[in-house]
Amino acid sequence: MIIWALSGLSTLGFVSIIALSLGAPRIGLGRYWPPESAPSWQHSSFRILFRLGLYPLVALSALIARDLGFWMPVVGFALIVIGFGAALLFTGKLGWKQAFGAAEGLVTTGPYAFSRNPVYVATWLGLLGWALCLPHPEVFVPLALWAVLYIVAPYLEEPWLEEKFGAPFTQYKASTPRFFGL
């Protein structure tokens, strides 16, 4: 019962972010992601909702792993370490403030020379590893929603980036794939 409750909370967090991202502009609440500024309802609610998605997912994963004896497939564990480790490094390269909506400068070097969204691509590797380690529907649902969120996010960010950076972003967009090879 607790496992499904945690899965439901996590699912609620990710579904809420997706719904607000897609729906807020349509009902006159402005752009949800990326937020206009740090002291905004969008920024605050995103931080709360992302944590609502993440923390219960970690807790339910720990409970399931404990019941399984915490055995992890080597490939799954490697993807978790590589994916989430790279996502953290790439976010650091971008800048933590900029990763959450501040327009501090267009980053086009390092991993950003190969993908406009390397953090999302790296996170998908980590999510895949997580799913391989804990192949349970209670875990799959929030993981899949997190993955969908990271598919939707670039489409929401790109108009904002064009607005903030103009021609340099347009040139970058023309020469660098959104995701690796796509």
Dihedral-angle region of residue 7 (phi above 0 means left; psi in -120 to 50 means alpha; beta otherwise):
alpha
Separation of alpha carbons 150 and 50, rounded Å = 12
Domain annotation covers residue 88: yes
Domain annotation covers residue 181: no
Domain annotation covers residue 24: yes
Separation of alpha carbons 91 and 20, rounded Å = 23
Separation of alpha carbons 46 and 60, rounded Å = 21
Domain annotation covers residue 76: yes
Domain annotation covers residue 86: yes
pLDDT string in tens for the chain (182-residue length): 899 999 999 999 999 999 999 999 999 998 998 887 778 899 999 999 999 999 999 999 999 988 877 667 889 999 999 999 999 999 998 877 776 766 678 999 999 999 999 999 999 999 999 999 999 999 999 999 999 999 999 999 999 999 999 999 999 999 999 997 75
CB 35 within 8 A of CB 43: yes
Find the domain containing 145 and state its range: 2-175
Domain annotation covers residue 180: no
Domain annotation covers residue 182: no
Q: How many structural domains does the chain have? A: 1
